[in-house]
Amino acid sequence: MTQFQTVMSGGNAAFIEGLYEAYLADPQSVDPEWRAYFDELRGGARETPHSPVQQAFYELGTQKRGGAAPVAAAPQGVSGAQQAAGALITAFRVYGHVSARTNPLKMRGLPAVPELTPEYYGLSDSDLGESVHDGMFRGPLRDVIGQLRETYCGAIGFEFTYLPAEERAWFQERVEAGRGQGQYTDAERRRLMVKLNAAEGLERYLHVKYVGQKRFSLEGGESFIPLLDRIIQQAGTFGVKETVIGMAHRGRLNVLVNIFGKKPSDLFAEFEGKKKISDDPDIAGDVKYHMGFSSDVRTPGGPMHLALAFNPSHLEIVSPVVHGSVRARQDRRGDTERKQVLPVTIHGDAAVSGQGVVMETLNLSRLRGFTTGGAIRIVINNQIGFTISDPRDTRSSRYCTDVAKIANAPVMHVSGDDPEAVAFAGDLALEYRQTFGKDVFIDLICFRRHGHNEADDPTMTQPIMYREIKAHPGTRALYARELEAQGVLQPGEGDALVESFRDRLDAGDAVVTEMENLEQSKLAVDWKEYLGTRWTDDTPTAVPQDRLTELGLKISQVPEGFQPHRGIARVLEARKAMSRGEQPLDWGMGEMLAYATLLVEGYSLRLDGQDSGRGTFVHRHAVLHDQNAQDPMSEEYLSLAHLSPDQGRVEVIDSTLSEEAVLAFEYGYSTSEPKALVAWEAQFGDFANGAQAVIDQFLSAGESKWQRLSGLTMLLPHGYEGAGPEHSSARLERYLQLCAQKNMQVVVPSSAAQIFHLLRRQVLRPYRKPLIVMTPKSLLRNKLAMSPLSDLAEGRFQEVIGDDTVQQARRVVVSSGKLHWELFEARNTDKEGHAGTALVRLEQLYPFPSGALKAELARHPGATVVWAQEEPENQGAWLMIWEDLEKALAPGQTLIHASRPRAASTAVGYASVHTKEQARVIASALGEPLTLDTVDAQVETIKEATAQA
């Protein structure tokens, strides 16, 4: 038996089917050995009903539902028609979607699939008259083929045969029992019609009333509104209490009015430029098709809270934000089964295949730190991306939804011209999600009646497509005609619905009749206490020393029989000594105590990044691994989860290798859970540039545009240690450039006590702004950055730390982070020569602590003030804060700076060059002449310090 024949079994059916489908689409896409095998099976074998192709398909196709083993060979006496029935059934399940009538536009036609024809199996006309029976399909073979076409080649094309056996059998049973779509009551069909009428009615009303204004019309895809309405109403019967929706522009205004119940009068005021959110100069607002909304609606299963996420023009970037928000809501509800909060994300056909963040987000869907129990993903498939309509220019796959397969998610391609088929797809998607906790796609194939926006003329580039679109009567008219013919609507009632809806729009009142007025506290977080706060508001962050000792010992313990790595065992022993006050605390211990104290005070912690359990630079050790473990389920130990019975929720997650989707996820989480410390740690600080859209569009501007508060903390390792361009700078200057109107906090803490107080302050103080932390690398183990336990039991985070060792200094060097300690060591090597030099730490760069710095500089009248930074002159903080530094000077003081020269790269790649550059910065900052001897001396000092660290 060949290797190919060996895998022809029920357990591998999906694998073979997938390979064979790929082969049929493009023979070059499969392995040469498999290609040769399929070539041999197909070559000249179609004349006989007992061909190898037929037999292979028969063995795969006659599996019983539920995944039972296939029939090894055709039983004696079984007719060719009966054998062909099994092969045909399998073929329709696998390839039926290719020939499904899902496209409202006929310009492309339907591809031919030979495997779906009786001729492929060598059947004669007399064979087609034979009676066959297989599962739900029975009767003359001719009729069975008709049943198969009705089921798998109708208005819905199903892709599910690659699912695991249980899910495949579940899907197959529901599809075949419903013959591809549902049977709806007259009341349900009328509701579909009413929503379809509302969808078209709003678009036409706006088109006439606000000529040429951008609204990103839904016309051509109106079935999306009854689909979304159906999902929401049915979700209530499945126990869903909240639905969070994310979408870009297309159809957004329609969703706001016809799903969320936004008053048309409010929307019209926005079109007319009459509605302004606030007179506050710090509130910029946003265009109407970016705005979010929330409301409460009635469903057959009870009240439901709806939330539409705010969205920038970066299309798919909102998807991970939605998932983060959903995860936070599920966690707050204690919804461990993830059934009560439903994420629904709406995509464009060009964007879902073109934007990498879609793949990143799908990859999160089954990960333990990010799963939300699956999302319903709806693609409004206009078959055109901006001005492109040819799939050859938009994707390399057959469908725009082929990315779904990385999450093993089923896909339903459905014609937007068949509202009942659309509703059936929605029902099936919702039930699948609630049953299996996985993503599911609905590819709503429709068209776009107008251009990308209403000022765009699509006929310039797509004359053929738009000739057909112009002649299309519209889905509402087609469905009204059908319902009137069947007596569901009275003659002329469809037109009456149009007039009635137009009257309601003229009145300006909400058109959604299921609105609820529920107590806000039962549905969402109350953010009132976080509004109107200031960064100068002081909150005590110190913790009694006996409590610190108690918690420090707890986080340093492991369960009996648990064997940590020998290196970590030494760290834990050192931490016990730190907890008892026998030695100063290093950075990792200060950070861990911040987390522990917050947790026992009832706050939650969510920390993730690509190596956050251990810490990229091996300093945190929050998640330990048993070196002798036999069971992967018991290998990990998170001491922070074992502090007290009533502590807050804690998750420390090693994330997937993603920045954009993961950071967006955490932003979404932070906007829905203010009582948690939500932190994302970059592997190296500059890796955050892979998530720049999240930083630019959400973190820095979300409050100004949308009044959306977030306390997300970003931990960005930063420091020049000679590791090269991509491992030195966290691009501090980029964050400072985005700072304005008190929108973010940017800090560079320099000691264990400072990180302890800073992290606690971020949660305890009701000031919810993103916190950007330049965290250290070599400084993590620098003894100078350690702090006594008493510094955590007293004090607070200090924005400015002065130098009490020098009075009335002639030179004051202001710096941040690691550089301060290098300056400290350099000064101490020549105490007499630098007796008049004071070293001041600027720990917070924004909001700039002008008062504290001014008070410190006033202690040194007439001094030369030096801003020192490791970064090149055109990077780092200098260009962004020099005006603030100048304003803080006392009379008679002058300001200069010391830095690396301007550079295109963040850092040099050669360690020897780096060391000399660093020595020059230090010498320049301290006012030493830049002689060769001076630089060489500084080089030796830096080398020695680096070796100790």
Report which DSSP code applies to 787. B
**Beta-strand (E) ranges in 564-626?**
604-609, 623-625
Secondary structure class of 800 (helix, strand, coil):
strand
* Mean pLDDT, residues 191-199: 94
768/672 Cα distance (integer angstroms): 12
Question: pLDDT value at position 269?
Answer: 80
Beta strands in 323-462 (DSSP E): 341-348, 376-381, 411-415, 440-445
In this prediction, residue 15 carries a pLDDT of 52
Are β-strands 800-801 and 844-846 bridged in parallel, bridged antiparallel, or unpaired? unpaired
pLDDT band with cut points at 50, 70 and 90 for residue 68? very low
φ, ψ of residue 411 to 5 degrees: the values are -130, 135
pLDDT band at 184 (very low <50, low <70, confident <90, very high): very high
The reported pLDDT for the residue numbered 18 is: 61
Q: What does the pLDDT read at residue 1?
A: 34
- Three-state DSSP at 897 gives strand
**Predicted local confidence at residue 181, as pLDDT:** 58
φ/ψ of 680, rounded to 5, equals -120, 130
Q: Tell me: the pLDDT tens digits for 117-137?
A: 998 888 888 889 898 888 888
Of 47 and 295, the one with more pLDDT: 295
Cα–Cα distance measured from residue 357 to residue 363, given in angstroms and rounded to the nearest whole number:
10
Cis peptide upstream of residue 847 (ω within 30 degrees of 0): yes
Nearest to 495 by CA among 832, 201, 156: 201
Residues 6 or more apart in contact with residue 274 via CB below 8 angstroms = none
Paired residues of 686 in beta bridges? none
Write out the two tokens for 923.
Answer: 């010498």
What pairs with residue 713 in β-bridges?
Answer: 679, 771
Residue 272 scores a pLDDT above 80:
no
Question: Residues 559-617: pLDDT tens digits?
Answer: 998 999 999 999 999 999 999 999 999 999 999 999 999 999 999 999 999 999 999 89
Q: CA 226, CA 196: separation in Å to the nearest integer?
A: 6
Alpha carbons 698 and 283: distance in angstroms, whole number: 14
Residue 190: pLDDT over 80: yes
DSSP letter assigned to residue 697: I
Percent of the chain with pLDDT over 90: 64
pLDDT for residue 548 is more than 70: yes
pLDDT of residue 582: 95
Per-residue confidence band for 192, with pLDDT thresholds at 50, 70 and 90: very high
Q: Where are the alpha helices (DSSP H) in 580-648?
A: 587-600
Q: Which one-letter DSSP state was computed for residue 585? A: B
Spatial contact of 378 and 344, defined as CB atoms under 8 Å apart:
yes
Q: Which residue do the tokens 């092969």 mark? A: 87
Beta-carbon contacts of 522 under 8 Å, excluding residues fewer than 6 positions away, are: none
CB 719 within 8 A of CB 778: yes
Look at residue 299 in the predicted model and tell me its pLDDT.
93
Most confident of 147-151, 496-500, 597-601, 699-703: 597-601
Please state, in angstroms and rounded to a whole number, the distance separating the CA atoms of residues 753 and 588: 11
Q: Which of 738, 735, 674, 665 is nearest to 709 (CA)?
A: 674
Q: How far apart are CA 476 and CA 494, in angstroms?
A: 9
Which amino acid, residue 541? T
The answer to whether 698 and 667 are in contact (CB under 8 A) is: yes
User: What is the overall mean pLDDT for the chain?
Assistant: 87
Name the band, by pLDDT with cuts 50, 70 and 90, for residue 107: confident
Phi, psi of 361, deg, nearest 5 = -70, -40
Q: Between residues 360 and 74, which one has the greater pLDDT?
A: 360
Q: What is the DSSP letter of 298?
A: E
Closest CA to 329 of 353, 304, 293: 304
CA distance 845 to 746: 6
How far lies 791's CA from each of 350, 543, 578, 610, 674, in Å? Answer: 56, 10, 12, 31, 27
- At residue 942, the pLDDT reads 66
Q: pLDDT value at position 946?
A: 62
Spatial contact of 417 and 410, defined as CB atoms under 8 Å apart: no
C-beta separation of 16 from 60 below 8 A: yes
List pLDDT tens digits, range 862-903. 999 999 999 999 999 999 999 999 999 999 999 999 999 999
Which residues 6+ apart lie within 8 Å of 447 measured at CB?
104, 105, 220, 221, 382, 383, 384, 416, 465, 469, 472
Sign of CA dihedral 301, 305, 311, 314: negative
Local confidence band at 932 (pLDDT 50, 70, 90 cut-offs):
low
* Mean pLDDT within 405-433: 96
Q: How confident is the model at residue 747 (pLDDT cuts 50, 70, 90)?
A: very high
The pLDDT of residue 26 is 66
| Kind of pairing between the strands at 894-900 and 137-140 | unpaired
Q: How confident is the model at residue 21 (pLDDT cuts 50, 70, 90)?
A: low
Angstrom distance (rounded) from CA 327 to CA 561? 34
Angle between helices 493-507 and 475-485 in degrees, nearest 10? 130
Q: Is the pLDDT confidence value at 53 over 60?
A: no
Tell me which amino acid residue 674 is: P
Residue 845 and residue 736 in contact, taking contact as beta carbons nearer than 8 Å: yes
Q: At what angle do helices 850-857 and 878-888 cross, to 10 degrees?
A: 60
- Tokens 């029989």, located at residue: 561
DSSP assignment letter at 71? P
Q: What is the crossing angle of helices 545-555 and 566-579, to 10°?
A: 170
Q: What is the pLDDT of residue 766?
A: 95
Which of the four pLDDT bands, split at 50, 70 and 90, describes residue 30? low
- How much is the average pLDDT of 642-659? 95
Rounded-to-10 torsion of CA 632, 637, 642, 643: -170
DSSP 396-411: SSSSTTGGGGGGT--E
Rounded average pLDDT over 155-174: 94
Asked if residues 448 and 417 have their Cβ atoms less than 8 Å apart, the reply is no
Spell out the residues 6+ positions from residue 935 whose beta carbon is closer than 8 angstroms to its own: 916, 919, 920, 923
- Which stretches of 313-356 are assigned E, i.e. beta strand? 341-348
Count Cβ atoms within 10 A of the Cβ of residue 661 and give its class: 0-12 exposed, 13-18 middle, 19 or more buried: buried
Query: Is residue 349 within 8 Å of residue 381, measured between CB atoms?
Result: yes
pLDDT at 805 over 80: yes
Mean pLDDT in residue range 250-261: 89
C-alpha to C-alpha distance for 345 and 404, rounded to whole angstroms: 13
Total residues belonging to the chain: 949
- Tell me, what's the pLDDT at 389? 66
What's the rounded mean pLDDT across residues 450-474? 84
The Cα–Cα gap between 918 and 749 comes to 20
Distance in angstroms (rounded) separating the CA atoms of residues 170 and 239: 21
For 590, the token pair is 């200060």
Distance between CA atoms of residues 122 and 110, nearest Å: 23
Amino acid at position 505, single letter: L
Q: Which of 747, 863, 745 is nearest to 803 (CA)?
A: 863
Q: Which residue has the higher pLDDT, 487 or 249?
A: 487
Of 216-230, 429-443, 449-463, the poorest mean pLDDT is in: 449-463
| 866: phi then psi, degrees, rounded to nearest 5 | -115, 125
pLDDT for 518? 55
Q: In this structure, which amino acid lies at residue 548?
A: L
Question: 394 near 424, Cβ under 8 Å?
Answer: no
| Cβ atoms 917, 939 nearer than 8 A | no
